[in-house]
Structure 1
Amino acid sequence: MMQWRALIVDDEPVIRMGIKASVDWAAEQIELAGDCANGAEALEVIARESVHILITDIKMPIMDGLTLASRAMAVNPRIKVVLVSSYNDFEYVRQGLKIGAIDYILKHTLEPEELLLVIRKCKELLVEEQRKERLHQRPNEMSVRDRMRFEQELKRHLVHRTEHLPEDGYPSWVMGLYRAMYVKLNRVYAIEEQQGYLFKSVLLDQLVDSFYRVVPNGVAIQTAENELFFVLPSGVPEAVEISKLKQALEKDSDVTVTIGHTTGSGHGSLRECFLASREAAERGFFKGAGIYDHRDPVYVRAAGKRLPSTLLPYAADEDESGIDRSLREWCSEWENGGISPAVLKEEACRVLSLMYKHSVDPYALVESFDRLFKTESLPELSRLLKEQIFELRKHKTEVQTNQAARNPIDRALDYINARYLESLTLQEVADAVHVSKNYFSILFKKITGHNFIDYVILLRVQKARELLVTTDLKVYEVAEQSGFNDVKYFSKLFKKMTGCSPVDYRDKQMASADGFWGAGGNAE
């Protein structure tokens, strides 16, 4: 069996054939995973199979080589990318090298010896990474490469519902006893509103890192926008260990989580354990944040009151006391569970749909649905539904009022661009343009495509990139002058958005500039 696998991507068949014929792949211990005519086709192969070396044209239809390279490295950070370019693609080559490509070759002057040198360079990097993994690997611990492979296969199996895992696609301990844990991030809406989606993504990464520090031989994958799934080998099974793991996760990331857990045996039980632990975690919606064992007895109820029929008459008449009474009765009816939280959230959305479907901006209504589905407890759902009933009525009035005026987002962008290095809040900007906070949030996201805080972060990171290239400031000074108070958070966020640390970004930019002038001669 070949040790490495390579994929060739070019929209010109003659180029693909030329690359395949230029190297004795078997002699190099490389198996060809295939050849593709565009990036989208290639990305499907990379998501499905192990690919270690990607040789891709830059300019292709459907998905270009730079987009492919970026997405391939997101799927497999260890993949080695070689760009195939023409003479007039130099600027694209520079961009490719910045995002992490190893080297490039010129397609119309391709020499077999040149291609072989580049391929061997990729192999040397792969072998060296493998050597370092083995050097730092503990007894009975999976290599990082093997673990990443299992993570990808497990995610496809659970989330995309592939029929089964590959026969060699899992560690040996999965054939014995293990514990499965479904981990839900708490206070999600507050995190998104106050610190942004990007920050939430960093938090999830930190939770995974913390898990691997405590359970280095376990496996962790992200299965939903705010949720993770952990599989632990036997030896970390009981509630006391899970409690300690929860404490470690929350301490490292400064967040709280709710955990549902169960036990399983054999790779054939993984999907069953995934569903069981997720169901256990959902009990937190009724009982509060904590740890829930799927084996614990569950309250079962066959039927109960339906919210739309009991609440709508009071809501239509704007009878606030009637609304409160109806919601209290509804919560009391379901406070012990016996129904899926998703069903209750759908009922709440149904109320808003029946009231406002034909009278408010559909985008605003969908945003309200999104907020309702992000609630984490029955009392929170009840409270937010009441708020949304009155907010959407106010939103309808504000839309009519602002139609003749200059778009408040135009004024807001001026305000933000002048002050994004300061400690801005959503409420402050909404007040500055004289609209309610909720209406401003909905309108801002609709027009810009970003929520407020993520837009501010994008501006700050762009400022940081400029400072890293144009000044000699230290990283903590760059962070301060870009509006970030926490240099550790700044560094993680910067890497999340650019693919490299601030120091590496500066080095790459300087190296690219030196290489450009070195290759081009005089800088006149």
Structure 2
Amino acid sequence: MSDNRYKLMIVDDEYEIRQGLRSFDYSSYHIDVVADCENGLFALQTMMNEQIDLLVTDIRMPLMDGLELAEKVASRYPHMKIIVLSGYDDFEYARTCMKHGSLDYLLKPLDFEDYGKILARAVRMVEQERVHELQRAAWERKAKLSVQHLRKRFLRDLLYSEMKEDTIELESSAAEIMLEEYTEYVVCLLRFTEYPRRPRGVGDKDWALILFTLDNLMQDLWGKGYHYVDVDGQCALIWTDRAAIDGYKEDPQSLAVELEQVIQRLKRFRGLFKSKLIYTIGTVVQQPNQICRSYQEAAALFQQDDTSFRDLPGIEAADPEEAACNVEQINNGQRLIQEAKQFIEHNYDRTITLDDVAEYVHLNASYLSFLFKELTGQKYIDYITSFRIEKAKSLLRHTNHKVHEVGEMVGYENPRYFTLVFKKYNQLSPLEYRNAAYGRELS
């Protein structure tokens, strides 16, 4: 048994029984009796201010009996383990308590040997749940870091290379980045004047802090799209805001004004950023796979004498390149796709990539993507997204979880991205959908 301590509450309307239960040697079970109450109502009041792991309760009590107490505890504190005390005449009540999640029941007069065995089992269950909770929290932290890593890698690839349309669709979903709902894009670059050299006198540790700070500040200072900070301190801003881009086409100085405002706000951290920031603005493009062209245009402007804002013409979108897939035909394709679907259905509540599914069914990721479309008529990303959205709709209709909690429960760590995806599939935001569903139930 671990060194953890477990908190126990005793609830019985008879003072002598409460004292008798308190006299039991709980130390060998790592249990502390933190409260005893004479009825269920007082017990619930105490639970509001005290974390309880184990509850020992009688059934027949004034104001609120053990049956009602067990029902309310199961609803409000599902982690709590309930042990019910009953007389022979209360046997059916005890069985009802078991339906409400009670761990076990004991008949009066109490056999302390049996009591000890039940306590030991309850403690083991609490300990296991604590371990699982720690593992779950550790996994969630890891998953969150994984999403951040995927997001940075995807943005880097999007800026530096002309990615294929299918690749963008798959990787943007894993990175929780929404691009397809936008019709135009512009890349702006912010650089330190000494780029790509570091400012003089800045060591590795200080430079890492500068990059970390710049990345985090841009999340707060700028909300017109997405940003990527490279290892040399260059910050690429991918503008997706339609109003901003429309305004830029009408008045080329408009984006420059917004960029100047961002730089002015960064000047508050002059003690950290020991170099001035300059910027360029690329051309407007109409496809996500052309974002790299806007990036290249902005980078090229730094080679000219005037590194301030320039009015650059837009370019026409090119036809997307046809993706060629050379795959082998296999006889068990349907079985593999079914296994892939089962993996998704058991893991949709966390961040999973096409590579994760492919590894599970022992296939190459590109081949799995091809096979999924061939045999189901549906893209992998469409299947997992629609599956998650259907689960989210059910949770919105039948539970009281907050919208961001529902998003997390179906695998979306970013609440804004969850709302965008949900609205794309339902033409309603999650909150609008819940309100509409609630209205239908009332009518």
Q: Which TM-score applies when normalising by structure 1?
A: 0.32
Could you say which structure has the greater relative contact order, defined with CA pairs below 8 angstroms and 6 or more residues apart? 2
- Which structure: greater helix fraction? 1
Q: Which TM-score applies when normalising by structure 2?
A: 0.37
Which structure has the greater CA radius of gyration?
Answer: 2
